[in-house]
Amino acid sequence: MRPTHRREPLWLLLPMLLTLGVFFVYPLLSALQQSFYEWDLLTPARFVGLANYRAILASGELFASLGTTLLVSVVVVVGSLTLGLALALAVHRPGRIAALARSAVFSAYVVSWVSVGLLFLWIFDADAGVVNRLLSLVGVGPVKWLTSTSVAPFTVALIVIWKVTGYAMVVFLSGLSGLPPEMQEAAALDGAGPLSRLRHVTLPLLRPTAAFVAITSLIASFQLFDVVRLLTQGGPVRSTTVLVYAIYEQLFRDLRVGRASALVVVFFVVLSALTWLKLRVFRAQEPV
């Protein structure tokens, strides 16, 4: 189909361009500008050059929150990949029970983050929580799920895994359905057992799917906020202060628009790098 007028495609693109411009490009450029100013929202802004970047570096806030985010992300990626794949392999079969299991696992993905936060606040309470009650029956614990600096980041990661694994499973299922059955049959004829077929045929063919799942869950865990806000408020002692939560604290708790903007700029750079990585992986895997 050819446009009747050269400008026609532009008109069609306009609504999306406007949305992107108003809600993404403009705020981002504005944050870039604000990152060079000191502003508390109420008094006039003051140009401070790179002082905000120096401050987030010198206070250790940038690397601490990036480190926490990375820690949570790595656990989430490894966990959701492994579990998602295992579940997909388990339910990739016809029948009502498998269909029920698929829906049940995926249902966690559609629950709102706020509900998830409240639910796990109850589940992981150190004294009255279900998990510690069950653990006490077998003589373990109590585990300080949310009140220990060394455990809390993993608790948060665990909750994210619970939530996103359903999505990983569905993606793996679609990957599994796309695999040519002839290869499995050929391997079986050659005498390969189920484990051997999984290892040498299925898993290598699922590599692009795994890369997609890994990168999407990495990006999702970089955007983590709601659960942290509800469950730990970044604590105990900043142990769960992920990057987005640090931005929230700087802006809404401390009224430091400049420092929050500097963190936003860094966050944008990190996410852009991840997105670039994602695109590279997929371009490399495009069918020849």
Partner 1 sequence: MDRRALLLSLAALSGGLAGCAESEAPPGRVVVPFWFTYGGRNRATLETLVARFNHAQSDVWVRAIFQGDYFEGLAKLRTALAAGAAPPLSHVVGEVVPYLASTGVLEPLDDYPGARTLPLHPALGQAGSFRGGAERPLVVMPFNRSTPIAYVNQRLLQGQPPPDTWQALHDVARALTKPGRFGFGCPIDWWYWAALVGQAGGEVVEADGRVSLGGQAGVAALKWWQDLIATGAMKQPAGRDYNAWEQLSQDFLAGRVAMIWSSTAFVRYLEETADFPVQALPLPHGVRGSVPTGGTHFVLLKSAASELKQAAWRFVSFLLSADSAAFWSSETGYLPVTTEAAQRLEASGFYAKHPNHRVALDQLSVAEPWPWSKSLFRIQREVVQPRLEAAVLERRDPVRALDEARAAAAESQL
Do 96 and 281 touch, CB atoms closer than 8 A?
no
The token pair at 112 is 């709102």
**CB atoms closer than 10 angstroms to residue 68:** 24
Among 2, 4, 43, 96, binds partner 1 (CB under 8 A): 43
- Smallest gap from residue 43 Cβ to partner 1 (A): 5
| Residue 238 engages partner 1 in binding (rule: CB under 8 A) | yes
Among 67, 141, 208, 236, binds partner 1 (CB under 8 A): 236
| Residue 42 engages partner 1 in binding (rule: CB under 8 A) | yes
Do 171 and 213 touch, CB atoms closer than 8 A?
yes
Residue 2, classed as helix, strand or coil, is coil
| Residue 125 engages partner 1 in binding (rule: CB under 8 A) | yes
| Residue 123 engages partner 1 in binding (rule: CB under 8 A) | no
Distance from C-alpha of 172 to C-alpha of 209, rounded to nearest angstrom: 6
Number of residues counted as binding partner 1 (CB under 8 A): 23
Among 254, 268, 279, 282, binds partner 1 (CB under 8 A): 254
| Residue 252 engages partner 1 in binding (rule: CB under 8 A) | yes
- Smallest gap from residue 277 Cβ to partner 1 (A): 34
**Three state DSSP letters for 22-54:** HHHHHHHHHHHHHCCEECCCCCCCEECCCHHHH
Among 54, 200, 253, 280, binds partner 1 (CB under 8 A): 253
> How close are the terminal C-alpha atoms of the chain, in Å?
27
Q: Which residues bind partner 1 (CB under 8 A)?
A: 40-43, 125-128, 146-147, 149, 231-238, 252-255
